[in-house]
Amino acid sequence: MTIVIGLTGGIGSGKTTVANMFADYGIDLIDADIIAREVVAVGSVGLTAITKKFGNRILLSDGNLDRSQLRTVIFSDPQLKNWLNQLLHPLIREKMLADIDHATSPYCLLIVPLMIENNLQTMVDRLLVVDVDQQTQIMRTQQRDNVSLEQINNILAAQASRQQRLDAADDIICNNGDNQALLTQVAQLHLHYLTLAQAAK
Ligand code: ATP
């Protein structure tokens, strides 16, 4: 089985940018955000259960899940939120494991923004954290998403702290610099992970 490198980091830290650099080396990416959408796709077990619970009001006219409606419905009801998590978390985990099983590159990246918050480090062999200073993180997120400082601060407060992530990390990519600095670090880590994968054979 392939070695699993977990990739995490706060909002706007550069996870996607880093993951794409690993993909350029032919490394398989398994992205929790994509899987979270797949498990509620039209015809899925997840969407069928959600529709049974909340009715058709939770669907868009094309049959897809109305995510903003779902967020509104569960927003002020911890029990419903809990119900939804208990439904989706096992489905997401199962799909992650299946995708890891199908990975063909010497190691694969499991990208989970809320890895530490959801205690998913247990699924990975090593944890790679993309670290960035908060000022740069806020500036890049604002430029990308056109959101207010207040909205970003709310998201930051709901996520694990920078220190919590650093404490959990086996490897750290520092993303305070430019793209070239990132490429250099990814190249070094790629070689390191190839060596680990070879040794694990
Ligand atoms: P999220 O979890 O919020 O989706 P992310 O961790 O995947 O974010 P990215 O989308 O990769 O982060 O990066 C956030 C923004 O910062 C993007 O617009 C990206 O192009 C930019 N960015 C990332 N790294 C750098 C860098 N080294 N220099 C300049 N801009 C960068």
Predicted ipTM of the assembly: 0.98
Ligand 1 proximity of 137 Cβ (cutoff 6 Å):
no
Given this model, what pLDDT does residue 1 score?
Answer: 72
CATH number of this structure's domain 1-27+107-201: 3.40.50.300
Q: What is the pLDDT of residues 149-176, one digit of tens each?
A: 999 999 999 999 999 999 999 999 999 9
Between strands 171-174 and 107-111, the pairing is unpaired
Given this model, what pLDDT does residue 29 score?
Answer: 98
Percent of the chain residues topping a pLDDT of 90? 96
Ligand 1 proximity of 182 Cβ (cutoff 6 Å):
yes
Ligand 1 proximity of 10 Cβ (cutoff 6 Å):
no
Could you tell which of 8, 16, 165, 184 is best to mutate to test the pocket of ligand 1, judged by most ligand atoms within 8 Å of the CB?
Answer: 16
Ligand 1, atom nearest to 178 Cα: 27
For range 94-117, the mean pLDDT: 96
Ligand 1 proximity of 106 Cβ (cutoff 6 Å):
no
How far is the CA of 163 from the CAs of 84, 160, 167, 176, in angstroms?
29, 8, 6, 16
